[in-house]
Structure 1
Amino acid sequence: MTNALSIKNLSKTYKTGLTALNGVDLDIRRGEILALLGPNGAGKTTLISIVCGLVRPSTGTVTVEGNDIVQNYRQARQLIGLVPQELHTETFETVWATVSYSRGLFGKKPAPALIEQILRDLSLYDKKDTQIMALSGGMKRRVMIAKALAHEPRILFLDEPTAGVDVELRKDMWRLVKRLRDTGVTIILTTHYIEEAEEIADRVGVINKGRLLLVEDKAELMRKLGQKQLTLDLQEPLKALPGDLSNYALELTDGGQRITYHYDTQAKRTGIASLLAALSGAGITVKDLDTEQRSLEDIFVSLVVEENQ
């Protein structure tokens, strides 16, 4: 799959001495959704600002569909749509006027049919003649997305797009993002909502203190790093676990009525099948069992904690 965005050895150190990015390498495939996770101050917004030409990098290169963001700024920037965290809108303008104006800023010819479709997709069309100042916060957030889409970008950055919005709007945005991806738009999403990444991302990147810790397919990441918990309800309670089960990370709970087992999904010798065989060999009968997968949030937290340590 062709890369829409290629970032090589990207670093940014400010005059204060703060290093916001440190040697970031990242290739983003055309038509994928990448969720970039990281705590406050991790470097997410700095990365986006550099790619969008708002901040100059200290070292490294960024190419957008083959266009260098420094040497070919105009060509590269025309391919990018940005929805920033902060709500920057023309307070006294109408929804229609501000979205249409955003298209004109990129030298695009007027396209009323396209603007209408964007507003309808974002449930904004009935507000098209309303001044921005009269809109709710959630509606203003929708206007920001409409502005970013007005010039038909091939790459869309969403920097905390659902921060402070209600659940209904968040789900509307998820559906819109998926539809955009289906048309070939590449989407980079930064978020504090881990369920957002689980819901819509194809790949997940984790950044902390300016360093990109990993970028992995979402399903593969959870398969490789996601531990599971197995809970076994026993037919008869146990007073203690047999010594020959010491190879397993078992915990006896609920008065000996239940065994809890934490295991790595990649482990072959300590999987469910071998444990059940060992329990049967020890004369322990299992009445029922239940498994629980480690969440993406658990993985993210453990990666950041490990990096900080």
Structure 2
Amino acid sequence: MAQHPRPLTVSAAPAAPGSRERRSWLQGLAGAGLFLLTQTLIIVVARGGTHLLTSVMPQPMAYLTTALLVSATCVITVVAGYRLIVRRIGCREAPEMGGPGALRELAAGLALGGALICAVFAVLALAGAYRITGVGWSEGIAVGLIFGVVGGFNEETMFRGFLQRLIETRLGSWWALGTISVVFGLLHLTNSGATLSGCLIIALTAAPLLGACYLLTRRLWLAIGVHASWNFIQGGVFGSDVSGTGMIKRGLFEATFHGPDWLTGGRMGVEGSVVTVVVCATAAAVILLMARRRGMLLAPRWRRPAPADDDVVERR
């Protein structure tokens, strides 16, 4: 697991919890611009790469190469853009997107996300709701890779790196976590196959889990790893649709789902399943408890004892 900062002093905390952010609104607007720019570049590279590469190489290799190009574009744009915005506008370094131990936190996140989504499918398989009928290459593997990297880097940078972090400096950890979880969940309604119940499940389980990962480490790598691994394995391996996008029909495994929507998730994919609710809610609660015990939760600004103590995290 990742190395965690000592909880009570700013010098030990990687993201200086509780510090006053400079030009918060401008950082947020710039973050939204970075998010939209990255999404646009992803679409351009995906369409252009698919069109060009399928004419010069076999389809499986063309799709996989395109996915790798899209992934590299996303990672480079997001990491460089975040650091630039925080340094130029926020007038500080960006330890939440760097620093020693980053690879260990990313690896821990990948392992945790993989374990959680595998647990969901294991329960569904034991209940007879998920049955594998074949194994082999599918375009869904490449699409799942893109969903994993884009969800992990672009979405986590926007929602946790910018929005949750900036809101937290004023409203505290709990209000920031709740607000961003609702926004994160409801924005999934823009997906073609998304349902209101499925988006509410994301708001109540997946979003708090990812937000808790940020609170525990005060960096983005653990949350990025969890999100990326969850999306890729869900779609690219097990062949479930991801967040109701309607873009994945099968992954490495060709499988069938049996049972009511509340169990399988229906058009939303397994993210709409009651099994996901139990698994993700449990993981989120455990990580939030760990963050609280480490003193990583920040009180609202009006509950902090004095401006001089503004950079000290909440002790509860």
Q: Taking structure 1 as the reference length, what is the TM-score of the superposition?
A: 0.22
Between Structure 1 and Structure 2, the one with more strand by share is: 1
Between Structure 1 and Structure 2, the one with more helix by share is: 2
Q: Which has the larger radius of gyration?
A: 1
Q: Taking structure 2 as the reference length, what is the TM-score of the superposition?
A: 0.21
Q: Which has the higher contact order (CA 8 A, sep 6+)?
A: 2
